[in-house]
């Protein structure tokens, strides 16, 4: 069901902070081949016998010889690093996430656990939900305007590019690799109540946010329309990616 409300709301007064684009950050370096081989050998040491470790060490030395296969592959990595801001990012996304066949629930997709709230009535719960929606949209607005304060590791800023697709992104099950579909101009959220799924518009045509009272009314209508539970299709996300 699609609930569309055409109201207006003034933009959030949330204080804006400076933006840092990934172009201002150093590119991800490619580790030296010999350093990679030494690290790999240290990593597998607790998992193999002494004889297996010797054989692996011998293989690594041959692999890392000047002009050998390792050197040729290292050159390919260096060439890729010259063209990409992050030579690993796409491979990591595809291999570690989109090609991972286990359920996204628990294994991959993040979730939020909030402190338990004590509500005196259903209306209190809906008001809280409306406030939460507005808070999330305020945060999304900072991302869209590239004014989100960069996270830091010590004194060094981190790349904030991944925040761009936190909202408006859907992961579709595919074989052998899932597909990410991104809709940066979407104006709705999904609300689930008693396993019923609703598409709820939260932004007006001009991009302004609806008020808390307007969202409260919309959420109240959803609860009124869902007196009975329906088939929980959301359970499909707990199955193998290849099964559905």
Q: What is the pLDDT of residues 73-102, one digit of tens each?
A: 999 999 999 999 899 999 999 999 999 999
* pLDDT for position 13: 30
CATH 1.10.275.20 domain position(s) in the chain: 28-106
pLDDT digits (tens, 9 = 90+) for 54-66: 999 999 999 999 9
Out of 2-6, 138-142, 176-180, 229-233, pick the least confident.
Answer: 2-6
Q: Where in the chain is the domain with CATH 3.30.559.70?
A: 2-23+121-238
How many CB atoms neighbour CB 93 within 10 A?
Answer: 14
pLDDT at 2 > cutoff 70? no
The answer to whether residue 1 scores a pLDDT higher than 50 is no
CA-CA distance, 73 to 71, in Å (whole number)?
Answer: 5
Instruction: List, for residues 166-188, the tens digit of each pLDDT value.
Output: 999 999 999 999 999 999 999 99
Locate tokens 């690594």: which residue?
A: 60
In this predicted structure, what is the pLDDT of residue 9?
Answer: 34
| Assigned CATH class of 2-23+121-238 | alpha beta
pLDDT, one tens digit per residue, over 108-130 is 887 788 899 999 999 999 999 99
198 and 219 Cβ atoms separated by less than 8 Å: no
Q: Is 222 left (phi over 0), alpha (psi -120 to 50) or beta?
A: alpha
DSSP states along 47-88: GS-HHHHHHHHHHHHHHTSTTSHHHHHHHHHHHHHHH-S-TT
> What radius of gyration do the chain's Cα atoms show?
24
pLDDT value, residue 244: 78
Q: Quick one: pLDDT at residue 4? A: 41
- Residue 12, pLDDT score: 31
DSSP-derived secondary structure for 191-221: EEETTEEEEEE-B-TTSPBPPHHHHHHHHHH
Q: pLDDT class for 21, splitting at 50, 70, 90?
A: low
Phi, psi (degrees; rounded to nearest 5) at 36: -65, -45
Here the tokens at position 179 are 């597909």
Let me know: does 102 contact 241? Beta carbons within 8 Å: yes
Give the tens place of pLDDT for each residue, 142-161: 999 888 888 899 988 888 88
Residue 29 predicted with pLDDT over 50:
yes
pLDDT in tens, 189-211: 999 999 999 999 999 888 889 99
**Using CB atoms within 10 A of its CB, is residue 50 exposed (0-12), middle (13-18) or buried (19+)?**
exposed
Token duo for residue 213? 């009272």
Can you give the pLDDT at residue 22?
A: 58
What's the CATH code, domain 28-106?
1.10.275.20
């Amino acid at each position: 069901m699609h609930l569309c409300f055409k109201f207006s709301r003034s933009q959030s007064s949330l204080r804006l902070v400076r933006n840092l684009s990934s172009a201002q950050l150093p590119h991800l370096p490619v580790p030296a081949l010999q350093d990679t081989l030494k690290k790999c050998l240290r990593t597998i040491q607790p998992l193999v016998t002494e004889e297996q470790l010797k054989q692996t060490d011998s293989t690594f030395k041959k692999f890392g010889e000047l002009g050998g296969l390792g050197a040729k592959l290292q050159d390919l990595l260096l060439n890729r690093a010259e063209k990409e801001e992050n030579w690993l990012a796409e491979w990591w996304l595809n291999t570690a996430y989109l090609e991972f066949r286990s359920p996204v629930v628990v294994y991959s997709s993040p979730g939020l656990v909030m402190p338990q709230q004590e509500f005196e009535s259903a209306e209190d719960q809906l008001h809280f939900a409306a406030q939460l929606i507005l808070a999330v949209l305020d945060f999304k607005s900072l991302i869209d305007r590239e004014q989100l304060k960069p996270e830091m590791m010590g004194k060094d800023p981190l790349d904030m590019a991944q925040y761009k697709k936190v909202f408006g992104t859907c992961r579709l099950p595919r074989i052998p690799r899932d597909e990410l579909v991104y809709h940066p101009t979407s104006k709705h959220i999904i609300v689930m109540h008693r396993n019923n799924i609703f598409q709820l518009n939260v932004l007006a045509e001009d991009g302004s946010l609806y008020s808390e009272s307007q969202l409260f009314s919309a959420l109240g209508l959803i609860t009124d329309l869902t007196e009975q539970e329906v088939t929980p299709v959301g359970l499909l996300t707990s199955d193998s990616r290849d099964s559905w």
